[in-house]
């Protein structure tokens, strides 16, 4: 067993010694069998949250209303969730109520896909009620139980299916794929933030071609914000994107450039996806830079404006758009510029005012003009030269 499980064994043993059942569940079990590195180890138990809390010194109520308590042990947190059965859904998302149960079987039944419905005992023994091991072996994504019902209960599962297809390089079985096609429109009921998480994971996955193709064939793409006008662009991405991009910034840069959005169109697009303002600002820059790189080369001013932090993302997306990989030469060029960022400019607004320039909007414009001249090598980055330049114009 991987180290992560070995470290967590005493936690399961403590719960079991108190007379309850406890298992490792979810992605960590799946990924261990696949031989992938695991991130977080999740636990499912027959003990109720208050029972768990009485067994451990340090716990955090991370989702007590859903039955989740985090157990802190040797500096690691274990999300521990009481067995649940989710029965009544009225709005195609989250269950109306969570019912705690004492049966593992009930808990595994409510899970989305067979590969995610495996449980593992403390000694490594696997409990496989839905032939999840066979599906893992055959690289298949299959809904637990009746696929139609499962997507009707929770429409986010459809995005999870296409996301796992990309992350794991798995095929969605025909019956499950057909159920997604039948229920795709229910994705519109899901909070955009939750769809966003899955889309990002899809585009950062191992085989985004798969996930994108599944989104196109099932119609899921139509229920993603602002995707409606971009079917050909999505199709061409599905044909060409042979590996996932490396970051969330790269995901949005990829979409905005692939959709050929103008700078003015980037912000509303991203707002509809409910991304952060910080992300919008970054993508305004990377998107412009990637487009320029795809069209030809980048002048020093645009290179400087993009900066070291974002140039690799812009270059990465330009490569997807068909440009050569120029990361080394771009970073070398950036490093050779007279300044790397605005605060390295040898003059400030205060200096300009001391030189007799009135405060106001034109002061900012003069500073930016000086910055441009320094970056492009027209003026040396020295205070006297800059003051002379500013006062002559
Ligand atoms: P990841 O590697 O992305 O964390 P994961 O499978 O662990 O993948 P989580 O979102 O962490 O995914 O969920 C943990 C487990 O909870 C899943 O493996 C699955 O059993 C169950 N699960 C999560 N979301 C749903 C859902 N919408 N419907 C049913 N079961 C779900
Ligand atoms: Mg997980």
Note whether 33 and 163 are same-domain residues. Answer: no
90 pLDDT more than 70: no
> Are 279 and 388 contained in the same domain?
no
Q: Is 154 annotated as a binding residue?
A: yes
The count of structural domains within the chain is 4
**CA-to-CA distance for 159 and 3, rounded, in angstroms?**
31
- Asked if 298 and 277 touch (Cβ cutoff 8 Å), the reply is no
Q: Are residues 237 and 146 in the same domain?
A: yes
Distance from the CA of 295 to the center of ligand 2, in angstroms? 40
**Residue 25 and residue 43 share a domain:** yes
The CA distance from 246 to 250, in Å, is 6
CA of 30 to the centre of ligand 1 (A): 11
Please indicate, yes or no, whether residues 146 and 209 belong to a single structural domain of this protein. yes
Nearest ligand, measured from the Cα of 155: 1
Stated pTM of the model: 0.93
Where is the domain boundary, 226, 244, 262? 244
Give the C-alpha separation, 257 to 264, whole Å.
13
Do residues 132 and 160 share a domain?
no
Q: Ligand 1 pocket check: which of 23, 24, 25, 26 to mutate, most ligand atoms within 8 Å of Cβ? A: 26
List Cβ neighbours of 336 (8 Å cut-off, separation of 6 or more). Answer: none
Ligand 1 closest atom vs CA 154: 27
Check whether 308 is labelled as a binding-site residue.
no
Residues 219 and 128 both lie in one domain? no
Q: Domain of 54?
A: 1-136
Same domain? For 83 and 121 the reply is yes
Question: Among residues 33, 319, 39, which one has the least CA distance to residue 170?
Answer: 33
Q: Is 169 among the annotated ligand-binding positions?
A: no
Residue nearest to atom 30 of ligand 1 (CA): 111
Same domain as 84, residue 5: yes
- Specify the range with the lowest mean pLDDT, choosing from 13-22, 195-204, 354-363: 354-363
CATH code for position 385: 1.10.246.80
Q: What percentage of the chain reaches a pLDDT higher than 70? A: 97
Q: Is residue 81 classed as helix, strand or coil in its secondary structure?
A: strand
Residue 178: per-residue pLDDT = 98
Q: What is the CATH number of the domain that holds 220?
A: 1.10.110.30
Tens digit of pLDDT for each residue in 7-54? Answer: 999 999 999 999 999 999 999 999 999 999 998 999 999 999 999 999
- What residues does the ion ligand 2 have nearby, CB within 5 Å? 27
Tell me, what's the pLDDT at 49? 95
Domain boundary, last residue among 299, 318, 337: 337
Q: Identify the pLDDT of residue 86.
A: 73
List all residues whose CB is within 6 A of at least one atom of ligand 1.
26-27, 42, 111-112, 116-117, 154, 156-157
In this prediction, residues 144-149 reach a mean pLDDT of 97
Q: Predicted ipTM?
A: 0.99
**Domain co-membership, 161 together with 130:** no
100 in helix, strand or coil? strand
| SS3 label, residue 76 | strand
The ligand minimizing its distance to the Cα of 200 is 1
State the closest ligand 1 atom to the C-alpha of 163, by its place in the atom list counted from 1. Answer: 3
Q: Specify whether 6 is located in the same domain as 131.
A: yes
Domain boundary among 112, 136, 160: 136
Same domain, 17 and 119: yes
């Amino acid at each position: 067993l991987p180290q992560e499980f070995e470290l967590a064994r005493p936690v399961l043993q403590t719960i079991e010694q108190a007379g309850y059942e406890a298992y490792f569940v979810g992605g960590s079990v799946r990924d261990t069998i696949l031989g992938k590195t695991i991130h977080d180890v999740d636990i499912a138990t027959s003990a109720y949250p208050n029972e768990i809390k009485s067994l451990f010194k340090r716990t955090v109520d991370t989702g007590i209303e859903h039955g989740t308590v985090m157990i802190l042990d040797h500096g690691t947190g274990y999300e521990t969730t009481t067995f649940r059965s989710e029965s009544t859904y009225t709005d195609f998302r989250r269950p109306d109520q969570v019912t705690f149960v004492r049966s593992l079987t009930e808990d595994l039944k409510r899970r989305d896909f067979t590969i995610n419905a495996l449980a593992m005992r403390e000694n490594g023994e696997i409990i496989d009620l839905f032939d999840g091991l066979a599906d893992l072996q055959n690289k298949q994504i299959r809904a637990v139980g009746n696929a139609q019902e499962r997507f009707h209960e929770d429409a986010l599962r459809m995005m999870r299916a296409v996301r796992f297809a990309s992350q794991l390089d798995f095929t969605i079985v025909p019956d499950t794929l057909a159920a997604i096609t039948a229920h795709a429109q229910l994705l519109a009921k899901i909070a955009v933030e939750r769809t966003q998480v899955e889309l990002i994971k899809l585009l950062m996955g191992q085989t985004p071609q798969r996930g994108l193709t599944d989104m196109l064939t099932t119609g899921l793409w139509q229920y993603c914000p602002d995707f409606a006008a971009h079917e050909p662009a999505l199709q061409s991405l599905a044909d060409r994107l042979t590996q996932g991009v490396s970051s969330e910034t790269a995901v949005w840069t990829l979409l905005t450039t692939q959709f050929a959005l103008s700078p003015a169109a980037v912000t509303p697009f991203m707002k509809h996806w409910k991304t952060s303002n910080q992300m919008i600002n970054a993508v305004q820059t990377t998107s412009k830079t990637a487009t320029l790189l795809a069209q030809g080369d980048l002048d020093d001013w645009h290179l400087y404006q993009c900066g070291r932090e974002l140039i690799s993302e812009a270059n990465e997306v330009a490569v997807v758009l068909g440009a050569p990989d120029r990361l080394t030469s771009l970073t070398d060029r950036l490093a050779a510029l007279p300044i790397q960022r605005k605060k390295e400019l040898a003059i400030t607004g205060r200096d300009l005012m001391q030189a007799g320039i009135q405060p106001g909007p034109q002061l900012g414009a003069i500073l930016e003009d000086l910055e441009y001249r320094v970056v492009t090598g027209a003026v040396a980055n020295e205070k006297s030269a800059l003051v002379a330049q500013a006062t002559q114009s």
